[in-house]
Amino acid sequence: MNISVNNLTKIYGTQKAVDNISFEVKTGEILGFLGPNGAGKTTTMKVLTAFMAPSDGEVTIGDYNILTEPEKIKQHIGYLPENNPLYLEMPVLQYLAFVAEVQGMPKSDIAARLRLIVGKCGLNREKHKKIGELSKGYRQRVGLAQALIHDPDILILDEPTTGLDPNQIVEIRNLIREIGKEKTVILSTHILPEVEATCDRILIINNGKIVGNDTPEKLRNRSKGRYMFTTQIKVKGDTSIADELRSMPMIEVVEILPKFANRFKITASADVDFRETLFSKCVEKGWILLEMTPETESLEDIFRELTMN
Amino acid sequence: MDKIWIIAKREFQTYWDSLVAYILLIVFLAFTGAFTWLILQDVFMQGQANLNPLFQWADLCLFFFIPALTMRTFAEERRTGTLEVLLTRAVTDWQVIMGKYLGSLMLILTALAFTLPYYFTVAYLGPLDHGAVICGYVGLILLSSAYIGIGIFVSSFTDNQIVAFLLTLVFGVFFFWIFDLMSFISKGIIGELFHFLSMSTHFESISRGVIDSRDIVYFLSITVLGLILAEVQLAKRNVVDA
């Protein structure tokens, strides 16, 4: 099932939580939803799951419109909300059976499906315990299990790996990747390596607006127009040459790094290979070039760049 | 209807899982039992076979117990966030409300069913007006239904269970006593109005042994009104331009 969001706006009182965003997600695609706290990720998810109506704009999931046929849509969505709320006094198995029934699964299919999902989510040993007795990681698994139990076409996960240990995180990521082959998955997270590891496409949102929407590789290449490297230069008498470097053409930023004298992080435009220019400059001035390390811009940097005002 | 029943079953089960049901049953039976058999105007004191003490005191018990049951219906789910999970499932708001209403009503019916041995015992002791007893039970069930409706409405607009409990009690005080009192001290149409609004007058008229359609309509209207207001409250999250 495809998800298509057109000009979605959600206003709380006077605050625009989501401001006129549009995007599409196709079947078999895993979309990573990134953004700082309060950017509008959770609000968007609440609209997509038909929990809240949008203030403006249109959302269609498959052939259904979210305003006119929410009941049809809800059947096809598995949703893991932020903070993973669960009925703590219920035993795991009983809770999952309840969810399956409410989602309209035929009674005859429920037992087999329960066995499958409990196994997939690694809950076999805990299945008869009350949810309140489980540790955070296991509760997170129950949260995932309840989202998956009715075999939904669309999976919406709000920070699915919080509270899991590194092994569990890898397991859950693999699970999401596997599911994502046939289904439509939207997941939000703060953990950038997670997005790179699981998602086909990244949507970066800030102050309710989309500021980036691309594959991880392409987002990384945004910085291709510039050249970044760390360099250390030895100068007689250890005088600072930062200003001299700044006055050179093509150089955009010279950041002075601590600990060593004359060690800099330089960003330059890539019209000409700046390394040559710098080398000639060193020869001309009689400086000794000690280090020149190219730097690739990380997803963290791109994220910061796109979301800092 | 199927979905309503699934939710009602879970609600009912939750009362047992959280021990609320056991506490309610024990206290309810101890209280009504004591006043029916042991103290004040009990059966032996009156020297005649009727169950009036049971209905009088069950009425008072329900006044306290129903808010204790309904307070958690929405307030707790709102606080823990499970309401969001529940409402994003393939159910309508109305099915959720009806399920919760039925779940609470089922527990009250269970409590009332446990008082049936009183009935059989008294019937064994002497000639009993069976019609009056049936009316008394019908009255209690209708009263519970209306009060649960009010409780669910109150619970739907707060995330604090204590607030829901106390506020439902306040509503209860009005419907059980204050409207009745007001009908005595005010005259004419206003007095009539208060008389009509009071739950206790309707309950008394039924438990006297006359099932009047007006009383039934009254209790069912309050039930439905409470549940509809709860739905309006839930629907507020969808308001397009809040």
Q: How confident is the model at residue A296 (pLDDT cuts 50, 70, 90)?
A: low
Taking CB atoms and an 8 Å limit, are A46 and B84 in contact across chains?
Answer: yes
Chain B contact for A27, CB < 8 A?
A: no
Q: Which residue of A has its CA nearest to B242?
A: A13
Which is it for the CA torsion A135, A137, A138, A142, positive or negative? positive
Is residue A44 within 8 A of residue A200, CB to CB? The reply is: no
Which residues in chain A have Cβ-Cβ distances shorter than 8 Å to B85? Answer: 79, 81, 85-86, 146
* CA distance readout (Å), A129 to A83, A138, A189: 20, 11, 29
Is residue B147 within 8 A of residue B75, CB to CB? The reply is: no
Q: Which of B153, B151, B137 is nearest to B230 (CA)?
A: B153
Q: Which of B3, B82, B91 sits opposite A86 (nearest CB)?
A: B82
When pLDDT is averaged across residues A74-81 and rounded to a whole number, the result is 92
What residues in chain B have their Cβ under 8 A from chain A's Cβ atoms?
Answer: 3, 6-7, 10, 13-14, 17-18, 80-82, 84-92, 237-242
Query: How distant is the Cα of A30 from the closest Cα of chain B, in angstroms?
Result: 21
Query: In angstroms, rounded to a whole number, what is the distance separating the alpha carbons of residues A167 and B160?
Result: 38
Q: Which of A12, A77, A130 sits opposite B88 (nearest CB)?
A: A77
Query: How distant is the Cα of B153 from the closest Cα of chain A, in angstroms?
Result: 20
Q: Give bridge partners of residue A78 from the DSSP assignment.
A: A155
pLDDT at residue A236 is higher than 90: no
Q: Which residue of B has its CA nearest to A102?
A: B3
DSSP secondary structure letter of residue A129: S
Is residue A64 within 8 A of residue A231, CB to CB? The reply is: no
Per-residue burial over A99-109, b if 16 or more Cβ lie within 10 Å, else e, is bbbbbbbeeee
What DSSP string runs through B166-233?
HHHHHHHHIIIIIHHHHHHHS-HHHHHHHHHH-HHHHHHHHHTT---HHHHHHHHHHHHHHHHHHHHH
Query: In angstroms, rounded to a whole number, what is the distance separating the alpha carbons of residues B106 and B203?
Result: 20
Q: What is the pTM of this model?
A: 0.85
Token pair belonging to A126: 């805990």
Neighbours of B182 (CB within 10 A): 17
Is residue A34 within 8 A of residue A188, CB to CB? The reply is: yes
Query: In angstroms, rounded to a whole number, what is the distance separating the alpha carbons of residues A163 and A140?
Result: 7
Mean residue pLDDT of chain B comes to: 90
Query: How distant is the Cα of B30 from the closest Cα of chain A, in angstroms?
Result: 27
Q: Which of B7, B86, B88 sits opposite A50 (nearest CB)?
A: B88
Instruction: Give the helix/strand (H/E) hosting A306.
Output: helix A299-307
Q: How confident is the model at residue A15 (pLDDT cuts 50, 70, 90)?
A: confident
Residue A288 burial by CB count (10 A; 0-12/13-18/19+): exposed, middle or buried? exposed
Q: Which of B121, B109, B19, B12 is nearest to B62 (CA)?
A: B109
pLDDT tens for residues B93-125?
999 999 999 999 999 999 999 999 999 988 888
Is residue A103 within 8 A of residue A147, CB to CB? The reply is: no
Strand order in the sheet with A251-256: A251-256, A263-269, A226-234, A288-294
Higher-confidence residue: B166 or A226? B166
Query: In angstroms, rounded to a whole number, what is the distance separating the alpha carbons of residues B88 and A99?
Result: 11
Q: Which of A13, A74, A104 sits opposite B88 (nearest CB)?
A: A74
Mean residue pLDDT of chain A comes to: 86
With a pLDDT cut of 70, the percent of chain A lying above it is: 95
Token pair belonging to A267: 């960003």
Query: In angstroms, rounded to a whole number, what is the distance separating the alpha carbons of residues B209 and B131?
Result: 6
Query: In angstroms, rounded to a whole number, what is the distance separating the alpha carbons of residues A205 and B161?
Result: 36
Residue that the structure tokens 């060690």 belong to = A263
AA identity, residue A113: R
Q: Which of A8, A6, A31, A25 is nearest to A189 (CA)?
A: A31
Helices vs strands, H then E, count in chain A: 11, 14
What DSSP string runs through B70-119?
HHHHHHHHHHHSHHHHHHTSS--HHHHHHHHHHHHHHHHHHHHHTTHHHH
Is residue A172 within 8 A of residue A14, CB to CB? The reply is: no
Query: In angstroms, rounded to a whole number, what is the distance separating the alpha carbons of residues B90 and A222?
Result: 42
pLDDT at residue B242 is higher than 70: no
pLDDT tens for residues B25-46?
999 999 898 888 887 777 777 7
pLDDT tens for residues A20-42?
999 999 998 999 998 888 888 99
Question: If DSSP codes are grouped into helix, strand and coil, which group holds residue B151?
Answer: helix
Q: Which of B80, B89, B239 sits opposite A74 (nearest CB)?
A: B89
pLDDT for position B163: 96
Range from A120-134, A164-178, B218-232 carrying the lowest mean pLDDT: A164-178
Mutate one of B88, B98, B236 to test the A interface: name it (highest A CB count within 10 A): B88
Helices vs strands, H then E, count in chain B: 13, 0
Chain B contact for A58, CB < 8 A?
A: no
AA identity, residue A1: M
Per-residue burial over B154-178, b if 16 or more Cβ lie within 10 Å, else e, is bbbbbbebeebbebbbebbebbbee
E strands present in A112-200: 154-158, 184-188
Token pair belonging to A248: 């050179």
Taking CB atoms and an 8 Å limit, are A89 and B87 in contact across chains?
Answer: no
pLDDT at residue A224 is higher than 60: no
When pLDDT is averaged across residues B50-67 and rounded to a whole number, the result is 89
Instruction: Give the helix/strand (H/E) hosting A44.
Output: helix A41-48
